[in-house]
Amino acid sequence: MMNDPFVIGQAKIIADNHLAVPGRTTNQKIALMVERVHGVVPSDQQIQTLHDFLDVQASAYGKEDSRAWADLAHALLNMKAFYFLQ
């Protein structure tokens, strides 16, 4: 799942869909992405952790853009919460 071109493409689609929604804060977009991918509402701590991840990716790219968001979506798709139902 980490290097599969299909999964990477799906992560980009997920990111593009969330960036296209106007009028939402970064935390709201993160929460919505987690809810759609994992099917659960994330805690404030989880949102902060993912926001920190997004900041690190954005600094690596020099700005916050769709690549950083695609990396976030890709990470969500590779978490155990995506693999297993509770």
pLDDT tens-place string over residues 13-50: 999 988 888 889 999 999 999 998 888 899 999 999 99
Report the C-alpha gap between 21 and 77 in whole angstroms: 20
Tokens of 6: 């299909």
Q: What percent of the chain has pLDDT over 90?
A: 57
Query: Does residue 85 surpass a pLDDT of 60?
Result: no
Mean pLDDT of the chain: 87
Question: Can you give the pLDDT at residue 57?
Answer: 94
